[in-house]
Amino acid sequence: MTTTANQPSVVDIGEFVVKRTISVAAPIEKVWAAVTEPKHIAQWFGQGAELDEVAVGGRGLFSFEGYGDVPVRIEELDPPRMIAYRWSNELNNVDDPSQLDPEHSTVFRFTLEAVDGGTQLTVVEAGFGALADPTGSMESHRGGWDSELDELAAYLEGGS
């Protein structure tokens, strides 16, 4: 399949949000599996993923080189159209890094829509206003979503 050209992430400074929409030449079921199943998440998003269950309240860890293990919790779920994860962003402010601190975390929501030729995936990450450096965090995550979602598209469109 041909890799689709996608626009980069955008930062909404007034709303403290990072957003990106991409088109993936893969069916919605395949994209859903890639954003909810640890064995697939680990192939494109960081170096490792664990989830105790794919349900509201499900907890786990996403591992990133240079950042370590980042605790996550599923906040919302509407299969196969939407999943929202809360994750810690300022781990040095958390006494137990395996626990989420609502004061130092953001929520990223994947919304999937079946479209002709594949799936449209939108990620919206919100909650940066509560962080110590909202602008720096948004810029960092903007770049992260650019690279990570490009990896997701390559993973899914590469026939994996």
Q: Which two tokens stand for residue 148?
A: 């990570």
- The domain 10-157 is placed in CATH, from the list 2.40.170.20, 3.10.20.340, 3.20.20.70, 3.30.530.20, at 3.30.530.20
Q: What is the pLDDT of residues 11-57, one digit of tens each?
A: 999 999 999 999 999 999 999 999 999 999 999 999 999 999 999 99
Q: What is the pLDDT of residues 114-148, one digit of tens each?
A: 999 999 999 999 999 989 899 999 999 999 999 99
Q: Where are the beta strands (DSSP E) in 7-58?
A: 10-12, 17-24, 48-51
Q: Note the pTM of the prediction, 2 decimals.
A: 0.91
- Distance separating alpha carbons of residues 20 and 82, to the nearest angstrom: 15
H/E element, 30: helix 28-36
- Tell me the three state secondary structure of residue 128: helix
Task: With a cut of 70, say whether residue 156 has pLDDT above it.
Answer: yes
In the β-sheet with 59-64, what is the strand arrangement from edge to edge?
Answer: 10-12, 17-24, 118-126, 105-115, 82-88, 68-78, 59-64, 48-51
Sequence spans of domains, the chain: 10-157
Measure CA of the first residue to CA of the last residue in the chain; give whole Å: 12
